[in-house]
Structure 1
Amino acid sequence: MFRPPLVTLLRKRCPHCHMNFSSLFSNMAASLSPSGSSDPYDEQDERLCATAGSCSLLTESPSPPLALVVPLLDGKRRVERAWEHWRRLGSPRLIVAPMVDNSELPFRMLCRKYGAEAAYTPMLHSRIFTENEKYRITEFSTCKEDRPLFVQFCANDPYVLLEAAKKVEPYCDYVDINLGCPQRIARRGNYGAFLMDNLPLIKSLVEKLANNLHVPVSCKVRIFPDLKDTLAYTTMLEEAGCALLAVHGRTRDEKDGKKLRADWDAIRAVKNTVSIPVLANGNIRHMDDVQSCLAYTGADGVLSAESLLENPALFTGFRTAEWKDDSDNNSFKDGGLDQADLVEEYLKLCERYPVPWRMVRSHVHKMLGDWFRIHPHVRQELNSQSKLTFEWLYEMVNKLRNLNGSIPLYSKA
């Protein structure tokens, strides 16, 4: 049975890798539990919400990679191949960022319906992915329409990372290395942004993938406090074989994304220094931010995370009430769509593409946050449900509609 104080704690979210603490604890338990101990993936919220249907759980025959990266190319040819691959994918600009527990297949497909042109999987733990079949089945799924796709891993061992990457390369367009998570669990596990203290190890991770995979390797990074260090770092990644960089414009110690603006100047400097595609991450709340970021940084695309969780229709120009007045040149009207509509669409996708209930629960909380602030007793009812069903969730959405009518998303008048 869920106890409200614990629920409140476990649903707090890392603002950088977007992992909620329930998942952090589950993944830690999976990585630390000895053989024969209880399996965290047997818990109710870890079970799939439906029977696997038309999604791939690493069991179907995969489609071949869209491009083959020939190992051991010289630097100039590698850069050419990086751009050839990017253009073959359509040069996507609007991209769903990696979010643990939240950029899973149904949510990616919902965002793609509403304008996303590419997406990342949640961060996957490379060692657990290679060792634990339940983890692979539970945490990774895809389908034919789920492209272009980045599959992201955290790692600190080049050989383990390669073994994990080999399992997913037929299903994706990039294998991505998480070099940006700044949380204490990443410090303890020696991955994410804490590898910035060991650049030779980072270089070996990138080289191992670049020289042994048939899809390109990408890296998601944070910046150093000193711009010169950032530029040296990203240049090293390119020289090691990275074919695409996603740059989060905050340092490892800047852990409050709502209080600390991302440094677009640093992203622009990286774009002007390296020769491979660069994606900008940070401060993307609505489409005006997208256009401003692309124009200012020169980046080839943008990533959005937290704002998409609240508003998966962001990339088609919809915005929440919080941002409807955040424009100098446009007025906004009721767009004829609300977050309850999006929740219902998401639930239908979950019935088609099953994921653990914990992911479903998390998305419902995020998308209906504005409604729950008005009707906290309905949020409490959701928190008290130890066993979710689709029927119960659809009824909960109807209850909110009957109580409140609608809280619209807004579009340009």
Structure 2
Amino acid sequence: MPHIEPRNPEHNPLYIIKKCQQEKRPVFIAGPMVRYSKLPFRSLVREYNTDIVYSPMILAREFVRNETARLSDFTTNNFDTPLIVQVGVNNVTDLLRFVEMIHPYVDGIGINCGCPIKEQTREGIGAALMSEPDLVANMVHAVKEKYGDKVTIETKIRIHKDLNETISFVKKVEAAGVDFITVHGRTRTTRSSIPANFDAIKLVKETVSVPVIANGDCFSLKDAYDIAEYTNCEGVMAVRGILANPTLFAGFDKATWGSIEKFWEYSTAYGLPFRLIQHHFSCMLDPQLPKALYKDMMDCKNLIELLDWFDDNFILKRSGEEGFGTAVEIQYRQQRTLHI
């Protein structure tokens, strides 16, 4: 077995929450995203005032039984911290096995009780757990009974149509020993186009004594402060907002050019499939590029073609070059600026 350095206690989410309270600001958190919150993206957002970052959800059953799943689903390094790994799980046995395998490599473990994707809910995970408060409480209790303070555990939930159910749910998981709770202010069937219910999140915050993180509709640094002030939550989680703008918590209103250069560096150094790299750039640049140029980017068929396209149209600096990662506005090549 390789030697594993113990986790830095200052990277524990509860320590970070207290530290941010002393700084009189909310904790800034990048939430879990299927496929997209992998190591390169996590590394990027940490450079822009993100305090805690989540991994994509990992299916406990596959992870504990299949070495290939372990190798493909979870990649990390010594700089990938503070990190919370999110797990999709529906029984105590799989969760305890999962925690045993992964807890030395992360700073916290989050149980997904909110993902509304049908493939997940059919398996009894994600939002399906919203109707299984006793099961979730049992899973939390089992982890805390075995590991105590050695493992920080969170539950990420959505709200119920009947908020009394939500209140009952959070009271049960709090009594079971959960360390903090993240609340997405929508039900499992609420479309993302419908505003998040911050009154419901505020109600949860008033109900429990553990820290509460507000999730939903955070697209700017101002949003983060406004949401935290309205709900009185200890932290704010961004998901769609930070995917489009990894520099959100640093106060930029759109992805900076420097963040584009840094993402190129991280994604090629650590490795990421071409289509995922292309998708990240599409999210970051869609609001900023002329439509024809954006289409050209999306027509690229492989990584070399995409990199050549960037070099043909922009001044794309590499790590080690003066000014790398510092530009705010898009660095068009001179001939391109004539056609904007």
Q: Same fold (TM over 0.5)?
A: yes
Contact 1:122–1:152 at 8 Å: present in 2 too?
A: yes
> Could you tell me whether the CA contact under 8 Å between 1:206 and 1:217 is conserved in 2?
yes
TM-superposed deviation, 1:394: 2.3
Q: Are residues 1:173 and 2:107 paired?
A: yes
Contact 1:182 1:252 in 2 (8 A): yes
Question: Which aligned segments of 4 or more residues in structure 1 are displaced greater than 4 angstroms?
Answer: 81-86, 88-92, 402-406
Q: 353-362 vs 231-240, which deviates more? A: 353-362
Report the equivalent of 2:171: 235
2:160 aligned partner: 224
Q: How many residues are matched?
A: 312
1:196 lines up with 2:109 in the alignment: no
Shift of residue 295 of structure 1?
Answer: 0.7
**Post-superposition offset of 1:247:** 0.6
Highest relative contact order (Cα 8 Å, sep 6+), 1 or 2? Answer: 1
The correspondence of residues 154-303 of structure 1 with structure 2, limited to 5 A, is 154-213=88-147, 214-254=150-190, 256-257=191-192, 259-303=193-237
Give me the whole-angstrom Cα distance separating, in 1, the residues matched to 2:133 and 2:62: 23
Give the direction of change, closer, same or farther, for the CA distance of 1:113–1:216 in structure 2 (3 Å limit).
Answer: same
Asked if 1 retains the 8 angstrom alpha-carbon contact of 2:16 and 2:27, the reply is: no
1:369 to 262, 268, 286: 286
The answer to whether the aligner puts 1:61 opposite 2:21 as a matched pair is no
Going from structure 1 to structure 2, the CA distance change for 1:313 and 1:82 (only over 3 Å counts) comes to closer
Mapping for residues 110-121 of structure 1, pairs under 5 Å = 110-121=44-55
Name the amino acid aligned to 1:224. H
Identical positions, percent: 31
Task: Give the equivalent residue in structure 2 for 1:381.
Answer: 299
Structure 2: unaligned runs, 5 residues or longer: 315-332
Give the Cα–Cα distance (whole angstroms) in 2 for the partners of residues 319 and 225 of structure 1.
33
Distance 1:356 1:157, change over 3 A: farther
- Tell me, in whole angstroms, the C-alpha distance in 2 between the residues paired with 1:228 and 1:119: 30
C-alpha displacement of 1:356: 3.7
Q: Choose which of 276, 294, 301 in structure 2 pairs with 1:359.
A: 276
Query: Which range is displaced more, 82-91 or 216-225?
Result: 82-91
| Residue aligning to 1:395 | 308
- C-alpha change, 1:349 and 1:202, in structure 2 (3 Å) is same
Shift of 1:298: 0.6
Distance 1:85 1:365, change over 3 A: closer
Q: Which amino acid aligns with 2:284?
A: M
Q: 2 CA distance for matches of 1:355 and 1:135?
A: 16
Structure 2 letter corresponding to 1:231: I
Q: Is the 8 A contact 1:138 1:355 kept in 2?
A: no
Equivalent residues in 2 for 1:71-82 (5 A)? none
Give yes or no for contact 2:133–2:173 (8 Å, CA) kept in 1: no
User: Residue 319 of structure 2 aligns with which residue?
Assistant: none
Mean CA deviation greater in 100-109 or 347-356? 347-356
Inter-CA distance 198–380: structure 2 relative to 1 (3 Å threshold): same
- Cα gap change, 1:60 to 1:397, in 2 (>3 Å): farther
Residue in structure 2 matched with residue 76 of structure 1 by the alignment: none
How far residue 243 of structure 1 moved from its aligned partner, in angstroms, is 0.4
Secondary structure, counterpart of 2:50 in structure 1: coil
The residue identity in structure 2 corresponding to 1:245 is I
| Matching of residue 350 in structure 1 with residue 286 in structure 2 | no
Residue-by-residue CA offset, 1:229-250 (whole Å, 9 max, x unaligned): 2111111111111101011011
* Residue pair 2:216, 2:237 contacting (<8 A) in 1 also: yes
Q: In angstroms, what is the RMSD of aligned CA positions?
A: 2.5
Normalised to the residue count of structure 2, the TM-score between the two structures is: 0.84
**Gap change, CA 1:395 and 1:180, over 3 Å in 2:** same
Q: Residue type matched to 2:187 in 1?
A: T
Shift of residue 193, structure 1, vs aligned partner: 0.7
| Separation in structure 2 between the aligned mates of residue 262 and residue 305 of structure 1, nearest angstrom | 13
What CA distance in whole angstroms lies between the structure 2 residues aligned with 1:247 and 1:209? 21
* Equivalent AA in structure 1 for residue 123 of structure 2: G
Offset of residue 135 of structure 1: 2.0
Map of 2:61 onto structure 1: 127
> What is the aligned partner in structure 2 of residue 150 from structure 1?
84
CA contact (8 A) 1:82 1:243 kept: no
Alpha-carbon separation, structure 1, partners of 2:208 and 2:174: 7
Give the counterpart letter for 1:164 in structure 2. Answer: F
Are the equivalent residues in 2 in contact too, given 1:181–1:192 (CA < 8 A)?
Answer: yes
C-alpha distance in 1 between matches for 2:88 and 2:103 = 15
- The answer to whether the Cα contact below 8 Å between 1:82 and 1:276 also exists between their aligned partners in 2 is no
Matches within 5 A, 1:318-337: 318-320=252-254
The answer to whether 1:99 aligns with 2:41 is: no
